[in-house]
Amino acid sequence: MDSSDTSAILSEDPSESDESSKLGCRPPPCSCPFSVTVEPVIFLSMFSIGLQSPLYTQYLWDRISEDVGYNGTKAGGCNASTVHDPLEEEVQTRTAHWNLYISLGGFLIGLLVVTCLGPWSDRAGRRLILIIPSLGLAVQAGVYLIVMYLKLPVFWFLIGRIISGLSGDFNAILAGCFSYVADTTDRSSRTFRVAILEACLGLAGMVASIIGGQWRRAQGYINPFWLVLATNLAAALYAYLFVPESVTRDPEARLFSTRHHRAVYRLYTSDEPQGRRTNLWLYTFSFFLVVSVHFGCRDLYVLYELSAPLCWGPELIGYGSAVLQLTYLTSLIGLRSMQCCLEDSWVALMALTSNIIGLIVISVSDTTALMFTGYGLCFLFMACTPVLRSKLSKLVDPSEQGALFASVACVEGLCSLVSSGVFNSMYPATLHILKGFPFIFGAFILFIPAGVIGRLGYQEKRNSESSGIS
C-alpha cells in the first residue's frame, strides 16, 4: 500500500489528498478492502461494552442477592405487589453502590492516563491510542472471567476496572477515534462523520444487547464474557493491521511528560481567536450535562426493569437495551435529514426535546408497553452529542485535536463519576417517594444545555450575518 492509497483512505474528497500525502504517514501492515478507517475499532469496542454492561449489573444483582438471601425474581416473588420487601431494597441499594465504587475506581486512574494519551497522540500518532486501551479492556474482561470462575468477592471487579483505567479505558478509544475523524474531515462534513461514529456505537450496543440477554438466559455469564475478551483483542489487532496513521509521527514524543497536561490547560485558557475560550467552556459544560444525564439514567435502567412492577427477565432487558441502542441509528438518520433544512444548533435542540419527553414517560412506566414507549420517544436523543463534539472540534486548531478530545474524554470520565454518584445515590433514596424520580430529575437538567446551545447558536448566526453584511 503506497502513500497515495493511504491518502485516499484518509481523505473524504480529492482536494485533501495532497495535504495527506505531505504527512508522510506510515501505512499499516495491511490494507482494508472497505472504505472505513476507525469505524470497526469503535464498533468492536462498543460491542464489548454493550455486551458486558447489562450482564455485569445482573451478575452483581445475583451475587448480592445470594449473599443477602434474596430470591424474589427467581422464585416468582417479583410482581406488581406494593408490599414493601426490605431484602429487595437492600439488593438494589448495594448493587447501586457497587456500581458507584467501580465507576469511581476507573475514573480516578483514567483521568490522568487519558490526558496523557490524547495530547501524546498529536505527536506520536493515533493508532497507539486505539491499541493500548483495547488491550487494557481485554485484560479487564480476563479479570472478570476469573472472578466468575472462582466466585471471588465482587471487590475484584474494581481491580479489573482499575487495570482498564491504567490503559485509558473506553474513553481513550473514543478520544482516539474522534480525533482521527477530526484529522481526516473538513468542517462541513465533520458533524455527520462524528454522527456516523456514534451510530456505530448504537449499532454495536443494539446487537450486543440482543445477544447478551438471550445468551445469558441460555448459558449464564461466563461464555458471553469470553466473547468480550475476544472482541477487545480483535479491535487492537484491527487498529494495528488496517488503520492508516493520520498525523506525522514524532520519534521524540514522550508519553510521560507534563507537556501533555499543559496542552490541555492552554486549550481552555487561551482566548485566541477572541471569544473562543467562552464558547469552549460553554459547549463543554453543555456536553457534561447531556452525557451525565445519559450515563446516570443508563446505570439505572436495568435496576428499574429488574424490580417491581416491571420485573423483567434477561430477555426483556436485552430487548429494552437493544431498542435504546437503536436510537443511535434513528438519531443519525434524523440528524442527516434535519441538516438539510436546519442548522446544527437546532438539530441539538430537537434531540434534547426528544430526550426530555422520553425520560418523563420512562419515569412513570409501570407496564412493559409504556417502558418501550419511553425508549421509542428518545429516538433523537443521541443527535445532540455529535453536534457538540463537532462544534468543539471546530473551535480549535488541527494540531490541538488530540488535546481537545483528551479533555472531552476526561469530561466523559467525570460524567461517569458524577452521574454514578448522583443517580445511584438518588435512586435508593427516592424509592419510597417516586421510583422514577431520577429520570424526572435528568429531564429537568437537560433544559440547561438546551438554553446554552440555543443562545450560542443565535449568537453564531448573528455573527455570521454581520460578517456577510460587512
DSSP one-letter string for 238-266: HHHHHPPP-S---TT--SS-HHHHHHHHH
Give the percent of the chain with pLDDT over 70: 87
Of 281-295, 373-387, 418-432, minimum mean pLDDT range: 418-432
In angstroms, the Cα distances linking 194 to 181, 199, 389 are 7, 9, 8
For residue 33, the 8-state DSSP code is: S
Mean pLDDT, range 338-346, rounded to an integer:
88
All structural domains of the chain, each given as residue ranges with its CATH number in brackets, are 34-70+86-244+271-469 (1.20.1250.20)
Residue 7 pLDDT > 50: no
Q: What is the pLDDT of residues 104-157, one digit of tens each?
A: 777 778 777 888 888 888 878 888 889 999 999 999 999 999 988 988 888 888
pLDDT attached to residue 403: 84
Give the type of residue at 239: A
Q: What is the pLDDT of residues 235-272, one digit of tens each?
A: 999 999 888 887 877 777 677 766 766 777 788 887 67
**Of the segments 71-80, 193-202, 342-351, which one has the largest average pLDDT value?**
342-351
Higher pLDDT, 196 or 276: 196
**Of the segments 182-186, 274-278, 331-335, 419-423, which one has the largest average pLDDT value?**
331-335
On whether the CB atoms of residues 375 and 91 are closer than 8 A, the answer is no
Q: What is the pLDDT of residues 54-93, one digit of tens each?
A: 788 788 888 888 877 777 654 444 554 445 667 777 887 8
Q: What is the pLDDT of residues 383-411, one digit of tens each?
A: 999 999 999 998 888 878 888 888 888 88
Mean pLDDT, range 9-23, rounded to an integer:
40
